[in-house]
Amino acid sequence: MREFKLFIDGEYCDAASGETYESINPANGEVIASIAKGGAEDVARACEAAQAAFDGEWGAMTSAERGSILARAAEILTERLDEFAELETLDVGKTITDSVNIDVPAAVSYLQWYAEVTDAAVGETIPIPNAGQVDFSLYQPYGVIGAIAPWNFPLFLGMLKIGPALATGNSVIMKPASITSTTTSLVCECFAEAGLPAGALNVVTGPGSVVGEAIVTDPHVGKVFFTGSTEVGRRVIELSAQNITNTSMELGGKSPNIIFADADFEQAVAGAVFGLLLNNGQNCIAATRLLVERPIYDDLCAAVADKLSSLVVGDPMDEATQLGSIVSQEQFDKVMRYIEIGKEEGATVACGGKVPEVPGCEKGWFIEPTLFTDATNEMRVAREEIFGPVLVAIPFEDEEDAVRLANDTPYGLGSGVFTTNADRAQRMVRAIQSGTVYVNTYNQVYPQSPFPGWKQSGTGVERGMHGLLENVRYKNVIMDISGEPIPWFG
Ligand code: NAD
């Protein structure tokens, strides 16, 4: 069995307690690895190592040197793409096709892009009404960044935190989700081989309530980037009050996908299906509320149900598989419970809702993609984040009604609008309360594109240039060049 250890101060090591736990392949229930179960003592050591790296060799490097290390790490990850993709699939249950074509390449693309912009956080000169003084600003790294990631895109979400943090000269202590820790532990090899100084990147695996809380409250940590559920995010914000630690929070969602009757029908069906099913619906921005203009509601729902029913749910390692397994038994139970709740609430199961037979994976946690019709926005299945392959279709009457339904949610992460009317698209993108709006597409991800969360979907912005700036602190400098004493003391 493979073993994955903590990575502290440039070396793999056991947890101080010596404890480990098992990582399970959700497609067949087999144990794939033993993972070091870190604790508060390990976090403290990692944070000290991170601070020492920042105060030492790593902090002294130029932006060009940092960029070449990030670029080299991206190259090494690319050379090892198949190995990382296979491990990600075994750990998360996502299809090997997605791991090879989406997860690992996306992780690489973030390292590559941030490698190019290591010196882009530039300050400004500020005009002041005193010719004897200059006012300018600087952006400087926090020192030690704490990064906490969820289980759905472990490597990709890890690299989009590590990339900009290292690019701007910070050291990092990273905690992946305990159930999907393998690739984040392994990727430290790529950084070490690329020449990253010891301590600049540390990975501590283990339970969130112990390792995560220790990171958020460690006095070395200047900023925390958290991606996960709104519930745990709330706890992280509470804990961050202890040291008044800055946080960027990327939280949950219940994103609407709004289909107008004037939309291109085929494009809308594809958008509804892909909007839901990237990563089997275990996607923060998944478009789980399908709002459809009344005249096309029945036809569109029928076409979406046909498409969902035609998808191949199977062994994630099989290239023919389009939907793999759910990440864990706990998540499987949660999704199945919501399917029952939807039925009890009076929604109609237009397709799916059952556990499919997957030959060779009898012990895996698979769920048929499910469409609820005859649903209302008041139902729990339309209000609460299910985080699985479950779509809830709700009819709307007109543009105003669509905006009302779209915004009637505590979340504000993503949204989609399908229309061929450019005026309407412009009105909708302004009216919808979400950090990202897709028009006639969905689930597109680029390193350049910022990803903010509105309302209870988060604070701050990750990715893109805005994401880079979240890794640096703003400093204003007023400098006298007149040589004169301050008049009051004159
Ligand atoms: P989670 O909130 O349960 O866990 C997220 C991380 O926090 C994990 O590493 C976990 O170990 C850690 N953690 C748990 N308790 C903690 C505590 N008390 N203090 C500090 N850390 C703690 O989320 P999850 O189940 O891993 O992931 C699914 C959730 O993540 C969904 O709600 C999804 O919408 C969200 N998500 C958001 C984005 C985004 O960019 N907005 C992206 C992906 C996932």
Is 204 a pocket residue for ligand 1 (Cβ < 6 Å)?
no
- The whole-number pLDDT of residue 289 equals 98
Is 114 a pocket residue for ligand 1 (Cβ < 6 Å)?
no
The fold adopted by the segment(s) 2-251+457-476 is Aldehyde Dehydrogenase; Chain A, domain 1 (3.40.605)
- The whole-number pLDDT of residue 487 equals 81
Contact call for residues 185 and 16 (beta carbons, < 8 A): no
Alpha-carbon dihedral angle through residues 381, 387, 393, 396, given to the nearest 10 degrees: 80
**Nearest protein CA to atom 38 of ligand 1, as residue:** 284
3-state helix/strand/coil string of the chain: CEEECEEECCEEECCCCCCEEEEECCCCCCEEEEEECCCHHHHHHHHHHHHHHHHCHHHHCCHHHHHHHHHHHHHHHHHCHHHHHHHHHHHHCCCHHHHHHHHHHHHHHHHHHHHHCCCCCCCCEECCCCCCEEEEEEEEECCEEEEECCCCCHHHHHHHHHHHHHHCCCEEEEECCHHHCHHHHHHHHHHHHCCCCCCCEEECCCCHHHHHHHHHHCCCEEEEEEECCHHHHHHHHHHHCCCCCEEEEECCCCEEEEECCCCCHHHHHHHHHHHHHHHHHCCCCCEEEEEEEHHHHHHHHHHHHHHHHHCCECCCCCCCCCECCCCCHHHHHHHHHHHHHHHHCCCEEEECCCCCCCCCCCCCCCCCCEEEECCCCCCHHHHCCCCCCEEEEEEECCHHHHHHHHHCCCEECCCEEECCCHHHHHHHHHHCCCCCCEECCCCCCCCCCCEECEECCEECEECHHHHHHCCEEEEEEEEECCCCCCHHHC
Cα gap 99→121, rounded to integer Å: 32
**Residues of the chain scoring pLDDT < 70:** 490
* Nearest ligand 1 atom to alpha carbon 413: 41
- The whole-number pLDDT of residue 19 equals 98
**Cα of 300 to ligand 1 centre, how many Å?**
33
**Nearest protein CA to atom 22 of ligand 1, as residue:** 208
**Cα of 176 to ligand 1 centre, how many Å?**
9
- The whole-number pLDDT of residue 488 equals 81
* Nearest ligand 1 atom to alpha carbon 215: 20
Is 208 a pocket residue for ligand 1 (Cβ < 6 Å)?
yes
Is 414 a pocket residue for ligand 1 (Cβ < 6 Å)?
no
Do the domains spanning 2-251+457-476 and 256-439 agree at the CATH topology level? no
- The whole-number pLDDT of residue 334 equals 98
Is 151 a pocket residue for ligand 1 (Cβ < 6 Å)?
yes
Report, at the CATH architecture level, how domain 256-439 is classified. 3-Layer(aba) Sandwich (3.40)
**Nearest protein CA to atom 42 of ligand 1, as residue:** 284
Question: Catalytic amino acids?
Answer: 250, 284
User: Residue 329 corresponds to which tokens in the numbers above?
Assistant: 């038994």
Contact call for residues 392 and 289 (beta carbons, < 8 A): yes
Distance of CA 409 to the CA centre of its chain: 20
- The whole-number pLDDT of residue 195 equals 98
Is 308 a pocket residue for ligand 1 (Cβ < 6 Å)?
no
Is 411 a pocket residue for ligand 1 (Cβ < 6 Å)?
no
* Nearest ligand 1 atom to alpha carbon 235: 18
**Cα of 366 to ligand 1 centre, how many Å?**
22
Mutate which of 211, 238, 284, 334 for ligand 1? The one with the most ligand atoms within 8 Å of its CB, which is: 284
Is 40 a pocket residue for ligand 1 (Cβ < 6 Å)?
no
Q: Domain residue spans in the chain?
A: 2-251+457-476, 256-439
**Nearest protein CA to atom 31 of ligand 1, as residue:** 229
Amino acid identity, position 247: T
